[in-house]
Structure 1
Amino acid sequence: MSASIRARRGPFAAAVLVLTAALALTGCGRQRASDTTATEGGPATPPASASPGAAGATPYVEPGAGDGAPHYNENNGYRREGDMSPAHEADADREAERMTPVIKRLWQQKKWDPASVRSALLDLGYEEERVSQDGKRLGGTLTVRAMYPRFEADHYVTPEGALVALRVHDDACVTAFLQKTDYQVRTNGIYPETGCLEPPAGH
């Protein structure tokens, strides 16, 4: 009787042992993966509070480097405006206050083409900036031009509107834009390659 019971329990006990061993190994495997991750630098994605300059970050990421791409600061240096002296910034602020009502009125009148904008700003007493073929400034302070073209689908399109730059000092500018959707007037320093106007993205 006891031999018969042992024979019936044998396959059942074997199945239980196999199942228990499988569960133990699976659990062990998960634990090991977790342990390995923890000892090899933490989770695959850093927590939201981690910053590019935090300990453990790749040595190729510069502190404050926008999207964290290697050489971000170097590659985007042309899009960083220079500093304005406090006195020159105050002068630029005053000119921005003079310009803003004119820009706002033009936008409300739906006159955002460069010719209309240029004419209205020259009426404020500004003189159009003149530049020689080799890039030397010959006088004047105001530049009004079309918007930068942008790539859409398979070709470039120049949006309606105008870009404005007023050079108040060699380190201080007032810049503005008008387009169908909105307008803006602001003060800024000089950009290394483009003067008062912020260069387009995708240098």
Structure 2
Amino acid sequence: MSAALPLAACGQQRVAAGAPGPASSSTPGSASGSTPGSPRSTPSPSGVGASPYVEPGAHDGAPHYDENNAYRRSGEMSPASGKDAQREADRIEPVLKRLWKQRKWDPKSVRTALLALGYEELRTGPKGEQLGGKLEVRGMDSRFEGDHYVTPEGARIGLHVHKDACVTAFVQKTNYQVQVNGPYMETGCFEPPFGH
């Protein structure tokens, strides 16, 4: 059974004892003496010259990776907003832990438990404008498995703490997680899916 990943500090997760830590990755720097469009004098390990279109620090060195995935980066939080968001995350985490232990991760149960903390559901107008409330609870996103889409059991939570700060969480059969982050450009407090 997976361990829960509660938040230790603003934007950082604390991994429960005995749980594997996050994998680290490093990105090799660019070759010295090489400029875009000029041939490399030292072959790469594969024996093929590096592409002059590699974006430094990008996943797999893909050209335009950062530009193409900007929608997946959360916005910046002010320190004061981050502190307020962390305070709310600390209120939500024990509730999700309890629900997870009780095997109650359906959106209705999660919504009811969080409304009991005093949060109000987010209400929006016909043009998507926020009319009040701060809490959103949704089902999990569907994903492609094998040859069809499946929607796993569970609930996703987005709490709008300030315009620049959110608590983003989920609870599902295998685990739960609570974190703080700035809002996403297109999807507010919810992390957008891949394949934009």
TM bucket, shorter chain: 0.7 to 0.9
Match in the other structure for 1:202: 195
8 Å CA contact 2:164, 2:183 repeated in 1? yes
Match in the other structure for 2:177: 184
1:153-196 C-alpha deviation (Å, 9 max, x unpaired): 22111100000000000000001101111000010011000001
Structure index of larger Rg: 1
Q: Is the aligned partner of 1:169 residue 2:192?
A: no
How much has 1:143 moved relative to structure 2?
Answer: 0.2
Match in the other structure for 2:45: 45
How much has 1:57 moved relative to structure 2?
Answer: 5.0
* Structure 1 range deviating more: 148-157 or 138-147: 148-157
Q: What code does the residue aligned with 1:60 have? A: Y
Match in the other structure for 1:83: 76
- 5 Å-filtered alignment, 1:3-42, equals 41-42=41-42
1:29-81 C-alpha deviation (Å, 9 max, x unpaired): xxxxxxxxxx953234279xxxxxxxx85331222212211110111000000
Query: Per residue, is there more helix in 1 or in 2?
Result: 1
Alignment root-mean-square deviation, CA: 1.8
Question: In the aligned structure 2, how far is the partner of 1:113 from the partner of 1:104?
Answer: 14
Q: Which runs of 5+ in 1 are unaligned?
A: 1-38, 48-55
1:60-116 C-alpha deviation (Å, 9 max, x unpaired): 122221221111011100000010000000000000011110010000000000000
Q: Quickly say closer, same or farther: Cα 1:136–1:40, change in 2 above 3 A.
A: closer
Q: Quickly say closer, same or farther: Cα 1:42–1:160, change in 2 above 3 A.
A: same
Question: In the aligned structure 2, how far is the partner of 1:108 from the partner of 1:157?
Answer: 24
Q: Quickly say closer, same or farther: Cα 1:68–1:40, change in 2 above 3 A.
A: closer
Question: In the aligned structure 2, how far is the partner of 1:46 from the partner of 1:168?
Answer: 49
Q: Secondary structure at the match of 1:190?
A: coil
Q: Pick the aligned partner of 1:70 from 51, 63, 68.
A: 63
Question: In the aligned structure 1, how far is the partner of 2:90 from the partner of 2:40?
Answer: 57
1:115-170 C-alpha deviation (Å, 9 max, x unpaired): 00000000000000011232111111000000010011221111000000000000
Q: Secondary structure at the match of 2:59?
A: coil
Q: Which runs of 5+ in 2 are unaligned?
A: 1-38
8 Å CA contact 2:44, 2:50 repeated in 1? no
Q: Secondary structure at the match of 2:117?
A: coil
- 5 Å-filtered alignment, 1:53-202, equals 57-202=50-195
Q: What code does the residue aligned with 1:64 have? A: G
